[in-house]
């Protein structure tokens, strides 16, 4: 089999692996069109070892629908191409007039268990899985229209969003992507949970995450280390779903939250393991925590070049590190490719 065909087969494997798990979000279809050119991911993955790289947007508008884990509302999301240097912008089309929120750590508001943004009298909840899909596939400029204050939970992973973005085709732009190079160790947190940025051992971004629920818990101790490229993100992280302990899920339901969510919509663990929902990876939980980290780091609004190591870190610490890097580091602005 030619190299490019073997590579394409590898890229499609996570889609085949989870095809029977009924994703709760459905990307819009376009009758009469051929399959997306996923070989483009190989080109992106090759670009990631060089710096700087070109910015990217999507080639056409696509949509995803689902329901909000927290609100239970039906939600429609549309991804639209955006011009160079515009970044990631959420537009609340359910408001009159429509209001926008830029995906940046300066707009983050502290909320347990998720990443929320608030600006211009508008807010967007649970953005981390969608942002991870954009960052993992290196989509830098995109306008996201939503008709609710929350991003659809889908199947609890980034895969439905990544699939829609691939269907839209990821296209390069002339402007180069700004970057912040980590030159010294920066850590936030405590001895019990922390996350730190270290100078890169390779070009681009790499992550190492250690998850520790103890030896008596079904989740247990898991670790993962990964050089993040569009190909590795799609294969290793995008399908990994969010998870919760059964007692935590019951606590939320008792307070009127997550009432529409079932064990088919995410991973709910009891003492024996996930309830009525088979794992996609043996270490799916730590993979999802790495996915969350990538989504939260994307709130820097530029490429972060470094090695990121986390121990039991969550959204708050991830975002604190992102803010610290922006405060202490210097963003190297991109420029346009010459004709």
At a CB cut-off of 8 Å and minimum separation 6, what does 8 contact? 38, 39
**Distance, CA of 130 to CA of 137 (rounded, Å):** 11
With a CB cutoff of 8 Å and minimum separation 6, the contacts of 177 are 52, 53, 54, 55, 140, 302, 303, 334
Q: What's the CA gap between 262 and 268, in Å, rounded? A: 9
CA 94, 110, 229 angle in degrees (round to 5)?
80
Contacts of 307 (CB under 8 A, 6+ apart): 182, 197, 198, 199, 200, 201, 205, 206, 207, 208
| Residue 194: cis peptide before it, omega within 30 degrees of 0 | no
Q: Measured between alpha carbons, how far is 81 from 8 in angstroms, rounded to an integer?
A: 25
Among candidate residues 285, 267, 284, the one with its CA nearest the CA of residue 276: 267
The kind and range of the H/E element at 148 are none
Dist. CA 76–CA 41, nearest whole Å: 26
Residues with catalytic roles: 315
Q: How many residues does the chain have?
A: 339
Say how far apart CA 71 and CA 261 lie, in whole Å.
Answer: 10
- To the nearest 10°, the Cα dihedral for 156, 159, 162, 168? -110
Q: How far apart are CA 339 and CA 134, in angstroms?
A: 28
Torsion sign (Cα): 95, 299, 170, 14? negative
Q: How far apart are CA 61 and CA 75, in angstroms?
A: 17
């Amino acid at each position: 089999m030619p190299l490019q065909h073997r590579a394409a087969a590898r890229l499609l494997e996570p889609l085949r692996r989870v095809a029977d798990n009924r994703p709760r979000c459905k990307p819009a279809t376009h009758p009469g069109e051929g399959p997306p050119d996923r070989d483009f991911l190989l080109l992106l993955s090759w670009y990631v070892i060089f710096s700087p790289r070109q910015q990217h947007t999507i080639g056409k508008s696509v949509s995803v629908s689902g329901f909000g884990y927290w609100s239970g509302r039906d939600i429609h999301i549309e991804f639209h191409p955006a011009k160079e240097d515009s970044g990631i912008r959420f537009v609340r089309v359910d408001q009159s007039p429509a209001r926008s929120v830029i995906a940046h750590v300066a707009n983050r508001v502290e909320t347990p268990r998720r990443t929320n943004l608030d600006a211009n009298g508008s807010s967007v909840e649970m953005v981390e899985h969608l942002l991870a899909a954009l960052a993992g596939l290196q989509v830098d400029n995109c306008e996201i229209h939503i008709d609710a204050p929350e991003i659809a939970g889908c199947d609890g992973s980034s895969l439905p969003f990544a699939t829609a973005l691939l269907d839209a085709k990821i296209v390069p732009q002339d402007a180069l992507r700004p970057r912040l190079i980590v030159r010294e160790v920066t850590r936030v947190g405590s001895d019990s949970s922390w996350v730190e940025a270290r100078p890169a051992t390779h070009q681009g971004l790499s992550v190492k995450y250690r998850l520790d629920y103890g030896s008596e818990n079904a989740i247990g101790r898991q670790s993962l280390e990964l050089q993040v490229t569009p190909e590795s993100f799609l294969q290793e992280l995008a399908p990994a779903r969010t998870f919760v302990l059964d007692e935590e899920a019951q606590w939320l339901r008792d307070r009127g939250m997550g009432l529409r969510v079932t064990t088919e919509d995410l991973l709910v663990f009891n003492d024996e393991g996930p309830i009525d929902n088979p794992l996609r990876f043996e270490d799916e939980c730590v993979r999802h925590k790495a996915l969350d980290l990538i989504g939260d780091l994307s709130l820097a609004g530029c490429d972060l070049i470094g090695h990121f190591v986390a121990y039991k870190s969550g959204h708050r610490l991830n975002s604190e590190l992102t803010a610290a890097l922006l405060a202490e580091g210097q963003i190297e602005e991109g420029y346009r490719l010459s004709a």
